[in-house]
Structures are given as C-alpha cells and as structure tokens.
A and B are shown apart, each in its own frame.
Chain A
C-alpha cells in the first residue's frame, strides 16, 4: 500500500514545525491537510479560543484537543453590556471548569469574557491545576471575594489575576482580607488588576504582596486605595510598567510631594489608569512620566476638565492609546492631534450620556482634528451629539488605515446637522475608503442606503453594530449578502423583519452570531429558521410569556442566533424559547 506524503516526516519533526504556528486560523488550516496532520495538530494544540461558549461543548473540545494549556471562552452577547440580555440568560462556566479539572491537569491559563463564574468554580480551579498561571475575568459575575481567596491561597504559580470590569460580590467577613491568603512564600505575581472591587482591600496585605513580588509589572488598584498609600506601593515596586491609581480627592501638600518622589522613581511606567475623583492639583506628579507613556486611561476621571487634560496630553508625545471623557472637548483633541503623533487608539466617552443638552464643547470637529493629525490612528470609539457627512468623509479620506470605527451620536436618528440629511453617504465614505475596516458601529439618521454601501464596500468587515437605522428588510439583506467576512451582527430597534433573515439563512452559519432586539422578526420566522437550520440555535428571548400564546406573526422581543455543533443548550431560563419548545407548543 502506498503511503501518503505525510509519512516522510517523523511526527516529532512535524510537531516541532507546528509549534511555530500559533494563530487559530493557521492551525485550523493545517489540520485540514490530511489525517496525520490533523492528528499531530490536535495533540499539539495548546491554546484554544471559543468565541461562543455554546457553539461547542466541553466534551467535544476535550475529545479533539486533549492537551490544552490556555483556554479562552466568551459567553453573553455584546449587548449584555447595555442591559439588553435579561439576568439568568446563561453563559455559566462551571461545566467547562468541571470538565477541564479532570481532562486538563496542566491547564495554565483561563480567560473568560461575559461569563458567570461561581466561587465553587474558582475553588475548583485553584485546586485542580498545579501549574495555574493566568486568570482573566473580563466583565464576569457570579463570584465573590471568597472565590478570590481560594485562588490566592492555592495557586502557587499564579502570574496574573485580572478582574477587568467584573462584578465581584464583597462578602463582609472576607472583603479585603482575601489578599492575605497569598502565602508568605508566594512571589510570582506579575499582574494584578483589582480596579473593579468596590470595597477596601487590606492595605498591609497589599503592601507586603507588592513588596515581595519582584516581577510585578502591572498593578491596577481600586478606588479605595488612597494616594498616600499609593506612594508607599510605588516605592516598593518602582519597576512597575502599568499602574492604575485609586482615588485622590483631597489635595494635600505632604501627599503631593511624597507622591512626586515616588513617581520619579518609576522609570518603567508606560501605562496609567484610574484617576477617580482626582483633584486636578495632583496631576503635576505624573508630568515627569508623561513623555514615556504609551497608554493613558482617563475615562473615569470625572474631575479633570479641559485645560488640565490639555496640559497632560500635550506632554505625552509617545502616547499610543488614549481613553478619555468628553471633557477633553474639541480644543483638547486638537492639542492631542498636535502632540501625539504616535496615537493608534482613541476612545472618547460621554460625561453626561443622559443629559438632554450638550454639557461640553465636543463636536465632530475634535474627531476630524485627530484624524488629520495622527497618521497611525486606526481604532476609534467616539460619543458626540452632532455629526455631518462632510466630517465623516474627511475622516475617511484622512484615515484609510482605520480598522475599528465606532461612532455613537447620542440622540437616535440624528441627521447631518448641516444639511439635515441622513448620514448614509458619510458612513458610506468610511467603508469605501477604509478597506481594512473590521469593526463598525453606526448611529444617527440612516436609511437602507447606508447598508447598501456597507454591503458593497465592507468586504473585510467582521463586526457590525446597528441601532435605530434603516427602512426595510432591504437594509439587512444588503449586509447579510454583501459582507463576506461578517462574524458578528448586532441590531436593535430597526425595522428589519423576516424576509431578509430567511433569504440569508445560510449566511448565518458562516457567522458566530446575530442579535436582533426590538425589530420586526416574527415568531413564525424564528420557528422556521430553527427547523430548517439544525446547526443554528435560534433563541427567542421574550419576557412576555410563551411565544406560542401569541399569533405567529407577532414580532419577538429579542432574538439571538448562533451557530453551534453541540445542539440545544440545557441551561436555558424560562424566558428563552427555541425550536424544540416551540414545536412542543404546536402551531396556533
């Protein structure tokens, strides 16, 4: 029997070659070459990313990849960030942890986003993986400081504990003291992010921890750590590269000089965040490190106004990433454009998102200035209250290298303020000129036309967010039929219905997920889709009671469709309906 070409290399050689291949896409590609490559690849894959925890089951994962060391999972849809996904929807990580605890004893890293993780799971993690190194919980919930205490106590090799914007319950008895559960001989901490914790942590434990971990490079403190304590920590860890401060509302000269001294010792600092309630008088303590800063997050600094912001950013000549409140105003963004020629990413958040009137002098002009002055700018998130097609066109022409463009004009359906037309052509210019655009969020007054532009030009677009836009199903059809690389589509309050969805059913299997809420998709169409497409889970999220009790043409409240190879999930709450339950209820 003739052997295939693949056997001319010993397995060990192929495995060694594959070890240089890290990207999932590449690994997936080589695994399709032949059976032996598939086998070698699956045994040697160490890093797995599951973009939707319901797309595959733990069992299927373990069966294919028996020796995973780094696991990354994402749970709830993105719109959960804005309270559109009801409590109890799902994204529980416990089945994954339970399965991994026996299958992957050498697991080193767990990264979760928008998932629910319990203290029990945290404890299981801490006891199951002897070489556990990295725990990142991004926008997660369901756990308390008890779970953190278990991690601290048992993970002897922990390098990274990052609680990025998670909701952590502070149990009175242990709040703050979980940090003291790190043993005295534990010295391997490299990164600690506890910025989201509401209550105080035990400062002595924190100080001792920081003092005995010589490799600590990232320390993001929570609000409750006052500035005078910060100075102590900085003197213990002058090697810090990334720092998040606590709050600093009272300006005291002794604290100021102490802090100045401490900051001057930090020669490696490149990233700053925190700044809650900072008295502007403290800002000069960071001036000496501004020239070295590459990343600055002032988006929680509600007490720093335009002039102080300008003074600060004007000194940050090496800044690559800036997150800031709209207090920076157009003038500040002009200064940014003039001083920060290496800027890659800008996010401007609203200081008063629910105010009826503008409270700051921030308009489309600020964004135009930055697009003109910063040649490397490719990632933008911008909240403002007025926009024009001209401005969007200018931005598009200035920055054809844009890859992420998220514009939020605060009032829905706001037209071009100059000519009162829709912003179709403006956004059209963005997709036409920015050929590498991967992520786009729309806002303002938009008709089906903008979707025609997106479908025509958005060939690299992977994620699209739409709200209060469009006129008819044609809009949705343009996107689904035109955007070849679309992975995630999230839509709210648009007049899109059954027609486009059903006509593009096959497209949905090429995407990770589709979210539609407050649109016009009927329950009947959802049933049909669920029945015709077995590899899609069509979840109707409706808190009004069983959809079968209403006419089939009744639009559903919310709809979440995702591809999956593990079939229906078993942890659905009462307000989620899928085809199985639909058919049980029968047709009306």
Chain B
C-alpha cells in the first residue's frame, strides 16, 4: 500500500470498504512542503483526479472529515506544481539530521581573497554562497563598484574600468599555484581548486593558461 495514504480517522481500516471521504489523499504530510516525493504521485494522476485533494502546505493543514472546507480546491494547479518541484529540492526542516554546528563547520571553508590590480584593498568572498560564475562575477562587480564587468561568464568576461578605460580579466590561483582564467573549468571544480582571485589588467593576462572552450553551461 502506498505509504502516504493517510486515514483521516483512527477507526478506518484500509482493508475495509473505503468511502470517498475516507480516501482523502494528501501529497505530503502537514508541515512538509510539497517536494520531490510528489514525483511519485505524478504516475498516479488518474487516481488522484478522482478523489478529493487535501494538500499539505507548510502551515499544517488539519485533516479529517470536519475540515473539508479547508481543502485546497486548486487541485490541478497544485498537482502540476508539485510535479514541477521534483526538479528543485525544497529543504525540509531538520532533514537530513545534520547538526547546524556540523553544517557550519563544513560551510565556511571556501573564503578566498580577491585582489584587483591597482586597488589598495583586498576583499574576501565565500565561494560557497554562489552557484555559478555569473553569480560570482555579479557579486564581484558589486564589491568593486568602480569597475564594470562586461560580457557573459562563458569565458568572455572582462571587467572594465570606465574611468581608466582599462580592461580587467578575472583570474584565479589554483591548488597547483597556477594562475588560470576564471570560467575555464566547471563551477564545482573551480570552487574546489580556487585559492585566491585576482582581477588582472588584461595587458598582463597574456600568457595565462590557454583558454579552452567552456565545457558546459549547465554546471552550477
């Protein structure tokens, strides 16, 4: 029997004849946002369409006969919405059971220094807070507001100083102490190998590791 079939009253037994009301189906247990398990329910769409839907939302909805009035009647939207959520994971509170102490310890180990040629100050960024080159470069642009980043992140990124009309190329030092161009390797690989970032004047960027065509645009 499907584990998520919930009986709405203690007396109903799944083996006894089920009435229409008895088989109120939820897509999730109250308190749990509709998320990837809904993918399994997509295959039962035929069944779902024939019964009343009582959809779990993040504020626990009461279940049970007395609360038919609180049933969400946007059932179709919810089903399709729930199916969409298989792609993106919404996090459940406290799951998996990893203590926040431990999560924090794993998190903050990706701070790297960012230097800009010509600027007297260094900044630090936590690479873990970004999911793509685009996000990182946008953040760098915000940080060094006198510069502008031009172009897309697909290896074409250049930072331009409108005052000096000089171009800056984002580069980074990797674990092997080599200076590489930002954007060459998949994002995940970049996070793991990047030790520090330098926005280099493009005139000096000659001679860096040759730029390979970007492998994939979907890595985040």
Are B37 and A492 closer than 8 Å at their CB atoms? no
Q: Is B29 among interface residues, defined by CB-CB distance under 8 A?
A: yes
Asked whether A472 lies within 8 Å of B7 as measured between CB atoms, the reply is yes
With contacts A276-B109, A467-B95, A471-B3 taken as known, whether A550 is within 8 angstroms of B62 at the C-beta atoms is yes
Given contacts A493-B31, A518-B29, are A165 and B67 in contact (CB under 8 A)?
Answer: no
Across the interface, which residues of A come within 8 angstroms of B96, CB to CB? 350, 353, 383, 408, 410
Q: Is B14 in contact with chain A by the CB < 8 A criterion? A: yes
Neighbouring A residues of B93 by C-beta, 8 Å? 82-84
Q: Are A555 and B62 in contact (CB under 8 A)?
A: yes
A300 at the interface (CB under 8 A from B): yes
Whether B97 contacts A408 by the Cβ 8 Å rule is yes
Task: Digitize A460-475: 1 where CB-to-B-CB distance is under 8 Å, 0 elsewhere.
Answer: 0000000111111100
Measured between beta carbons, the chain B residues less than 8 angstroms from A58 are none
- Is A82 in contact with B97, judged by CB distance below 8 angstroms? yes
Within B5-62, the residues touching A (CB, 8 Å) are: 5-7, 10-11, 14, 29-32, 36-37, 59-60, 62
CA A351 to CA B27, docked complex, whole Å: 30
The chain B residue sitting closest to A522, CB to CB, is B64
Q: How far is B59's CA from A79's CA once the two chains are assembled, in angstroms?
A: 20
Q: Which residue of B lies closest to A523 (CB)?
A: B62
Interface of chain B: mostly helix, strand, loop or mixed: loop
Q: Which residues, 270 to 314 on A, are CB-close (under 8 Å) to B?
A: 276-277, 299-300, 302-303
B172 shortest CB reach to chain A, Å:
16
- Chain A contributes a number of interface residues (CB within 8 A of B) equal to 57
Closest to A500 in B: B10
Which of the listed residues B11, B64, B66 has the most CB atoms from chain A within 10 Å of its own CB?
A: B64
| Given known contacts A276-B109, A277-B109, A467-B95, A354 and B89 CB-to-CB distance under 8 angstroms | yes
**B99 at interface by CB-CB < 8 Å:** yes
Judged by a CB distance under 8 angstroms, whether B106 is at the interface is yes
Q: In this assembly, does A497 line the interface, its C-beta being within 8 Å of a C-beta of chain B?
A: yes
Residue interface mask B71-104, A partner, CB < 8 A = 1:
0000000000000000001011111111111110
- Bound-state CA distance A557–B67 (Å) is 17
CA distance A165 to B96 in the complex (A): 19
- Chain B residues near A520 (CB-CB < 8 A): 6, 63
Interface of A is mostly: loop
CB distance from B175 to the nearest CB of A (A): 9
Q: A499-B10, A550-B62 are in contact. Are A276 and B5 (CB under 8 A)?
A: no
Expressed in whole angstroms, the minimum distance between the Cβ of B145 and any Cβ of chain A is: 29
Q: Given the complex, which residues of B lie within 8 Å of A565, measured CB to CB?
A: none
Task: Check: A356 CB closer than 8 A to any chain B CB.
Answer: yes
Nearest Cβ on chain B to A548's Cβ, whole angstroms: 14
Residue pair B1, A447 in contact (C-beta under 8 Å): yes
- Are B99 and A82 touching (Cβ within 8 A)? yes
Among A84, A350, A412, A471, point to the contact of B1 (Cβ < 8 A). Answer: A471
Q: Is A59 an interface residue (CB 8 A)?
A: no
What CA separation (Å) do A270 and B11 show in the bound complex?
58
Asked if B105 is an interface residue, CB under 8 A from chain A, the answer is: yes
* Alpha-carbon distance A74/B113, docked complex (angstroms): 43
Q: How far is the CA of A493 from the CA of B91 in the complex (A)?
A: 14
Per-residue contact bits, chain A 400-441, to B (CB 8 Å; 1 contact, 0 not): 000000001011110000000010000000000000000000
Which of B32, B63, B91, B101 lies in contact with A354, CB distance below 8 A? B91
A102 to B144, CA, bound (A): 60
B63 with A555: CB separation less than 8 A = yes
- How many angstroms between the C-alpha atoms of A83 and B100 in the bound complex? 8
Among A332-386, those with CB < 8 Å from B are 349-351, 353-354, 356, 383
Q: Does A12 reach chain B (CB closer than 8 Å)?
A: no
- Once the chains bind, are B3 and A470 in contact (CB under 8 Å)? yes
Task: Find chain A residues with CB under 8 A from B62 CB.
Answer: 550-551, 553-555
Contact flags (1/0) for A550-574 with B, using CB distance below 8 Å? Answer: 1101110100000000000000000
Q: Is A391 an interface residue (CB 8 A)?
A: no
Most chain A Cβ neighbours within 10 Å, of B11, B97, B102, B109 = B97
User: A544 contacts the other chain (Cβ, under 8 Å)?
Assistant: yes
Q: Contact partner of A351 among B7, B99, B106, CB < 8 A?
A: B106
Q: A196 at the A/B interface (Cβ < 8 Å)?
A: yes
How long is the Cα–Cα vector from A447 to B14 in the complex, in angstroms?
A: 13
Q: Which residues of B contact A300 (CB under 8 A)?
A: 102, 105-106
Pick the contact of B5 from A471, A519, A522 — CB < 8 Å?
Answer: A471
Asked if A51 is at the interface (CB within 8 A of a chain B CB), the reply is: no
Known: A299-B102, A354-B89, A554-B67. A83 touches B14 (CB 8 A): no
The verdict on A126 contacting chain B, using a C-beta distance below 8 Å, is no
Q: Are A79 and B94 in contact (CB under 8 A)?
A: yes
Contacts of A495 in B (CB 8 A): 4, 6-7, 29
Contact indicator B89/A165 (Cβ below 8 Å):
no
Q: B109–A349 contact, CB under 8 A?
A: no
- CB contacts under 8 Å to B, within A470-504, are 470-473, 492-495, 497-499
Pair B109/A412 contact, Cβ less than 8 Å = no
In whole angstroms, how far apart are the Cα atoms of A110 and B93 in the complex?
A: 32
- Minimum CB–CB distance for A251 against chain B, Å: 10
Chain A residues in 8 Å Cβ range of B30: 518, 555
Neighbouring B residues of A26 by C-beta, 8 Å: none
Q: Which residues of A contact B102 (CB under 8 A)?
A: 299-300, 349
Shortest CB distance B123–A (Å): 18
- A205–B107 Cα distance when bound, in Å, is 29
| Shortest Cβ distance from B37 into A: residue | A413
Residue of B nearest to A525 (CB): B10
Q: Which residue of B lies closest to A557 (CB)?
A: B60
A557 in complex: contacting residue of B6, B31, B105, CB < 8 Å: B31
- Roughly how many angstroms separate A277 CA and B10 CA in the complex, as a whole number? 53
Q: Is the CB of B95 within 8 A of A165?
A: no
Complex CA distance for A468 and B94, rounded to whole angstroms: 12
Question: Separation in Å of the A543 CB from the closest CB of chain B?
Answer: 9
- Let me know if B60 and A82 touch, CB within 8 A: no
Cα–Cα, bound, A447→B89 (Å):
24
B64 to A, closest residue via Cβ: A553
A-B CB contact pairs (8 Å), 11 listed: A165-B99, A167-B101, A350-B96, A353-B103, A413-B37, A447-B1, A447-B3, A471-B1, A497-B10, A518-B29, A553-B64
7 closest residue pairs by CB, A with B: A82-B94, A518-B31, A499-B10, A554-B62, A300-B105, A84-B94, A495-B6
